[in-house]
Amino acid sequence: MEYLIGLISVFLVCTAIKLRYNFRLFKSTKEGLLVMGSLFVIGSVWDSFAVLRGYWNYREQFLVGIRIGVMPLEEYLFVLVIPFLTLVVHRIIEKRI
């Protein structure tokens, strides 16, 4: 559960910052869907490969228990939230410079 709470917290903080500074991450909705969709597919495949190879695993006591394929739900959310965080931080730095 802690993993999910952390991801939700990061998402909410990034959303609040994005709304506060009123900036767009993408030129269009289509571009946003294409970029985030591509990152989701690449990240999900990469993480699934790493789990299958035994490079890392997940401690069940920190998860909600829902698995999709070889990964927990939280990892799929991670693949969406962390690029969002990175883009928000990049735009803030870009706006400030």
pLDDT (0 to 100) of residue 56: 82
Where the chain has pLDDT below 50, the residues are: none
Beta strands in 7-66, from DSSP E residues, in sequence order? none
pLDDT, tens digit (0-9, with 9 covering 90-100), for 18-33: 888 888 889 999 999 9
Q: What span, in angstroms and rounded, lies between the C-alpha atoms of 59 and 31? A: 35
Q: Which segments of 1-97 does DSSP mark as H helices, in order?
A: 2-21, 29-52, 73-96
71 φ, ψ (degrees, to nearest 5): -115, 150
The sign of the torsion formed by the CA atoms of 45, 50, 52, 56 equals negative
pLDDT (0 to 100) of residue 10: 93
- Closest to 21 (Cα-Cα) out of 13, 10, 11: 13
